[in-house]
Structure 1
Amino acid sequence: MFAFDALAHSTDLNEKKLHQIQVLAWGVELLQTYYNIGDDIEDNAKTRSGKPCWHQLPGVGLMAINDADLIRSFIYEMVKNNIEEPIACTVQNYLNETYFALNIGQLMDISLTRSNDFDHFTMEYYNLLNYFKSAFYTVKLPILLALSICNLHSKEAYMHVDKVCSDLGILLQMQNDVMDYVDSKSASLKTSSDIQNRKCSWPAVAFLENCNISQRKEFESCYGQSEPEKVERVRRLYKEIDILKIYRQHEQKRYESMMEQIKQLPVDSIPSKEFFVKILNVLQNYTEDISPSKS
């Protein structure tokens, strides 16, 4: 909705267009629901947003897989019944690309979770993983859909969105990962479980880049274990290297990199430089709720 408002011309602001962008906004929400149901099943998660996961509800179980598929199919029906061609085809292509990216990200995530080799816990792998798993559907897809409904989509516009918004999507995932450590009871997250599930999370990757040999040995013996004392030991190891300070340094570097990418865009780029700065400022506020006092 924000992207559409920032991109639309006055001629686009009619009742029909507003209805269509609302349909697409709900489509994005349903896509996230579809993804979350499957993600929770694969992670064996218990709660999300303070409530039982869908597959944990009485009488649901693995029928949640079929429910998720119904949600995905319903997104297609929403687009078919509310968006005309050729825009509908463009929208469906972006949605299909998102599903594909999510599946690649999930495969990378689960494969590394099952691995015993911490040498693959690198920033390069983390960035690639979340380029597919997080950046596409959280930031890129909503902007691409807004471009489509405004008839502004093009290969050049796609390249500009990909260039700037991939880093922004990864940054939001970094923040999410850090919140899993800082505030395990946050209502915005599912049950804190990155440590127990051996996730390639940002704190784990950053720790391995900044720890000493003895700390690494201790980390390797505790990470991916469900015993409360081992989980707590990993959290203390994070605190020993001041993981929040390291996060803020990485966050600042990523913001500076994104601003530099925006400056390098053509003067007449679509979306414009000003558009990307607006998006960056809006989403930057999302990362301001990490407080060292919480840890």
Structure 2
Amino acid sequence: MSKADAKAQKRAKFEAVFPVLRDELLAHFAAEGMPEDAKKWYTKNLDYNVPGGKLNRGLSVVDTVEILKGRTLTEDEYFKAALLGWCVELLQAFFLVSDDMMDQSVTRRGQPCYYRLDSVNYIAINDSFMLEMAIYHLIKTHFRSESYYVNLLELFHEITYKTEMGQLIDLITAPEDHVDLSKFSLEKHKLIVIYKTAFYSFYLPVALAMYMCGIQHGPAPSSDPYELARSILIPLGEYFQVQDDFLDFAGTPEQIGKIGTDIIDNKCSWCVNTALAQATPAQRAVLDANYGRKDAAAEARIKALYEEIGVRKLYEEYEEAAYKRIMGLIETIPAQPTAKQGEVVLQRAVFKSFLDKIYKRQK
């Protein structure tokens, strides 16, 4: 089987779990005495917002459980790992529905943003809350009797809060309708990226898998496998977002599947922050005059300035340094970790699989 076929098969297996979970949520909703029109509405909310993305975050939970256990999962193990994966996708859906309203975005995943659908509008606020709470209903139903149940709850709560902190800094640093590049910096970008993206996209799926596999917290931060995982996954998430920012500028629509809009949307992107750090006073004046303008000519001037400053070469240097740094962190995990009979321990392969997926990616 080709690599592409294996990937498609893995995705299809994961996708097949979603209708089971959706029907379970709808059955509970109906059992609460909710009327038929509300049931139809909730069905539309779930179907429109949860499946259909890349599903990388959700699939990462399953992949990590398989790597940690070192074998094919039983049906029950697969279902539980996939359920936690879909909980991450529900969290993503909650963030996207609300984020699109805050940004007044037009499209998402190739279709109109949910709040823009006929009759939805501000009801999308409550719908986003329902997507979030579906996570806790599913976890309670399927993990209530597990010793790590509270760990799952605390993890979701902690990561959600951190993501919302990142969203706040992003919104007040780079509002779409007010450009003030003095608020931008590479340090601010790093903070936004770590809190808004890295925690929930990279650390959350792996930590969920670790709890499911029975990995215990260490007695001190220096010996805690969760702290070790975080110390590798947060820089990985930061590297991923910098890549995303660079591809928004340098990637073609055919390559990345969308038209880059970071410049006209006044995004606090790695590219503009790198340009700001390198710019001469004359170049800074060009940035101030043209960044974040809803104007194709202004966008073209910024892109030309990025080329003049050498953003492509600076990105290549960043990527190589990030790869070396993350590989160095991964190598702090013993190549052959010792484990007692039946014990699951952290392995390099978990992090190497993430790094291999994103190193030098083109989309």
**What's the TM-score once normalised by structure 2's chain length?**
0.73
The one-letter amino acid of 1:53's match is C
Alignment of 1:57-136 (within 5 A): 57-83=117-143, 84-114=145-175, 117-136=180-199
Aligned with 2:94 (options 18, 29, 34)? 34
- Deviation, structure 1 residue 92: 1.2
Report how many residues are paired. 287
Alignment match, 1:143: 206
CA contact (8 A) 1:122 1:205 kept: yes
Matched, 1:280 2:355: yes
- Deviation, structure 1 residue 186: 6.1
Residues 196 and 101 (structure 1), Cα distance of their counterparts in 2 relative to 1, 3 Å cut: same
CA contact (8 A) 1:48 1:191 kept: no
Alignment of 1:1-295 (within 5 A): 1-8=62-69, 10=71, 13-83=73-143, 84-114=145-175, 117-155=180-218, 156-183=224-251, 185=253, 192-265=260-333, 268=337, 270-284=345-359, 287-289=360-362
Structure 1 gaps, min length 5: 291-295
**Greater Rg, structure 1 or structure 2?**
2
SS of alignment partner, residue 288 of structure 1: coil
Once the two structures are overlaid, the 10-residue window that deviates more, 96-105 or 39-48, is 39-48
- Deviation, structure 1 residue 9: 5.1
Q: CA RMSD in A?
A: 2.2
CA contact (8 A) 1:49 1:188 kept: no
Q: Give the Cα–Cα distance (whole angstroms) in 1 for the partners of residues 250 and 97 of structure 2.
A: 24
Q: Give the Cα–Cα distance (whole angstroms) in 1 for the partners of residues 254 and 215 of structure 2.
A: 38
CA contact (8 A) 1:102 1:133 kept: yes
Higher relative contact order structure (alpha carbons within 8 Å, sequence separation ≥ 6):
1
The one-letter amino acid of 1:278's match is S
SS of alignment partner, residue 289 of structure 1: coil
The one-letter amino acid of 1:20's match is K
Q: Give the Cα–Cα distance (whole angstroms) in 2 for the partners of residues 46 and 153 of structure 1.
A: 44
SS of alignment partner, residue 271 of structure 2: helix
The one-letter amino acid of 2:167's match is Q
**Percent same amino acid among aligned pairs?**
28
Q: Over residues 134-192 of structure 1, what are the superposed CA-to-partner deviations in whole Å (9 max), with x where a residue is unaligned?
A: 10111110000100110114251111111101011011111211222234746967764
